Amino acid sequence: MTEKLDFSLPQKKPQGSATGKLTVLLLIILVVLAAANLVAGRRGRSPESVSGGGLSAEQVRTLAARLAQRNLYQQAAAAWQDYLATAGCAGAEQARIHFQIGDLLEKAGLYADAIEHYYRSETVAEVKELGPQINARIKECFERLGKFTALRYELMDRTSLDASQPAGGKVVAEIGAEKITEAQLDARLEENLENQLAPMQGLLTPEQFNEQKKRALEQARDPKTKQEFLQGWLAQEILYRQALQEKLGDKPEVQRVVHDLTRQALSQQLMNDQLAAKIHITDSDLQMYYAANKDKYTEPEQAQISHVLVREEGQANELLKRARDGADFAALAKELSLDEATKSSGGRIAQEVTKGAYVPGIGDANEINAAIFAAGAPAVLEKPFKTEKGWEVIKVEQKRAARQKSFEEVSQQVAMQLLRQKREEVQRQYIQEMMDKHQVVIHTSAFAPAPQAAPKETPSQP
């Protein structure tokens, strides 16, 4: 026989039952006991004690100092924040503690959090001796974060005589009721540059990356460049907003493109993370790479020349005779040369000639290059040379022997080349690891050319 389930609500018991009265009485007793314990706890607790551990304010100060001595800066900062939450300090003392917390967080590499506490310090109270230190620390933190636009406006605000007008507040454009300020434009420009430089991040140290970014920002601050960027940004923004209104994101073909772009962005970010984590180049690494590749860092033999360009061979021979007989070569160039670019400077070609390379001002002439470096200096070459422009009479003014460049001269070049080599190694190794992990098999035989069918034999005629 199947038992039936009872879905009915239980019947309410009579209000005056003994069980109900006993329950109410017990609840009253429990409430009274809890209140008594709470009052007793408050009476027994020191006003200087800190929540979460029962330590006094003085004990927390000692704890914070001890943590800082052991270079546990983040933990020391947290201890000082516990102290602030319960100790009830105010004014200059609170400002000094916020500065101390900012200093600890900066040492821990938490630069954005450090800036917050430096701001809090100067907001709580103006402590004269802390002012210059806060200025310097905030500047250092923004530089460490690579936030050069924010730093620029921060410095402008701190040096401005008009506190009511924040730096970067000027409106540069409007989209309907939305106003775009100069600071917002500069921040967007910096973000765009970061995206462009992102592929280089795995190749550069943080200092080198920030230096590259700083140089790019300096170039981008040209008013014409900023206006062109603003116009492009606004065009993209209004098109994006219109596309949202037209629900283009719901179209399958758009979703496919977005999906592909997401895949590319994620795979590139993963590789960038791997490069940043696995490439650590020290000064000794750079020195060793330079020593092993010194032949890459030499300066070839170079020469400084002057020339006179004339139209006819006979004129060139007459000019050559005069020059070799002691006539002033610069005066001859000013008088007779057809090259307007060098005529006024006595035929002097500003760019130096490198052995075995193109001859500036004359052209790709191997015979002339060889003659220049076979001659002494100063000396007029023994014969004129025919070129596409006419006939050249050439004087070697001075020569500089080939030399080995010092490490200091080429340190940036060495760093870039070593980083590029490391990047290729890490990328190749990591991709192979991922292929092995995901069991990738490439059937190279599938790409072999199909065998050609043998020609059919023609039956012989009887």
- Could you report the per-residue pLDDT of 368-390, keeping only the tens digit for each? 999 999 999 899 999 999 998 89
**Does 290 score more than 90 pLDDT?**
yes
Residue 316 neighbours by CB distance under 10 Å: 22
Burial of 399 (0-12, 13-18, 19+ CB in 10 A): buried
Q: C-alpha distances in angstroms, 88 versus 19, 50, 452?
A: 50, 11, 91
Q: How far apart are CA 106 and CA 100, in angstroms?
A: 10
Average pLDDT rounded to a whole number, residues 21-46? 45
Could you tell me if 339 and 362 are in contact, meaning their C-beta atoms sit under 8 angstroms apart? no
Average pLDDT rounded to a whole number, residues 346-362? 91
Cβ partners under 8 Å of residue 154, min gap 6: 138, 139, 142, 167
Cβ partners under 8 Å of residue 139, min gap 6: 151, 154, 155
**Does 30 score more than 70 pLDDT?**
no
Higher pLDDT, 71 or 397: 397
Task: Tell me the pairing of strands 379-380 and 178-181.
Answer: unpaired
pLDDT of 303 reads 95
Judged by average pLDDT, the poorest of 3-12, 348-357, 395-404 is 3-12
Q: How far apart are CA 448 and CA 255, in angstroms?
A: 35
**Does 38 score more than 60 pLDDT?**
no
Helix then strand count (H, E) for the chain reads 17, 11
Q: Model-level pTM greater than 0.95? A: no
pLDDT of 52 reads 42
pLDDT of 40 reads 41
pLDDT of 162 reads 61
Judged by average pLDDT, the poorest of 65-74, 322-331, 404-413 is 65-74
Could you tell me if 65 and 71 are in contact, meaning their C-beta atoms sit under 8 angstroms apart? no
Q: How far apart are CA 83 and CA 48, in angstroms?
A: 9
Q: C-alpha distances in angstroms, 346 versus 184, 312, 329, 343, 371?
A: 54, 20, 7, 5, 21
**Does 348 score more than 80 pLDDT?**
yes
Residue 158: pLDDT band with limits 50, 70, 90:
confident
Judged by average pLDDT, the poorest of 59-68, 117-126, 209-218, 409-418 is 209-218
Q: How far apart are CA 316 and CA 326, in angstroms?
A: 16
**Does 321 score more than 50 pLDDT?**
yes
Residue 396: pLDDT band with limits 50, 70, 90:
very high
pLDDT of 4 reads 38
Judged by average pLDDT, the poorest of 184-193, 249-258, 319-328, 416-425 is 184-193
Beta strands (DSSP E) in 401-446 are 403-404
Which residue type is seen at 149? Answer: T
Q: Give percent of the chain with pLDDT exceeding 70.
A: 84
**Does 28 score more than 70 pLDDT?**
no
Cβ partners under 8 Å of residue 313, min gap 6: 384, 386, 391
What average pLDDT does the structure give for the chain? 82
Residue of 266, 299, 286, 327 lying closest to 400 (CA atoms): 299
Percentages helix, strand, coil for the chain, rounded to the nearest 5? 60, 10, 30
Residue 128: pLDDT band with limits 50, 70, 90:
confident
> Residues 361, 363, 365, 368: what is their CA dihedral angle, to the nearest 10 degrees?
-10
Average pLDDT rounded to a whole number, residues 388-397? 92
**Does 460 score more than 80 pLDDT?**
no
Using N-to-C axis directions, what is the helix angle for 111-124 and 131-145, rounded to 10°?
160
**Does 21 score more than 80 pLDDT?**
no
**Does 10 score more than 60 pLDDT?**
no
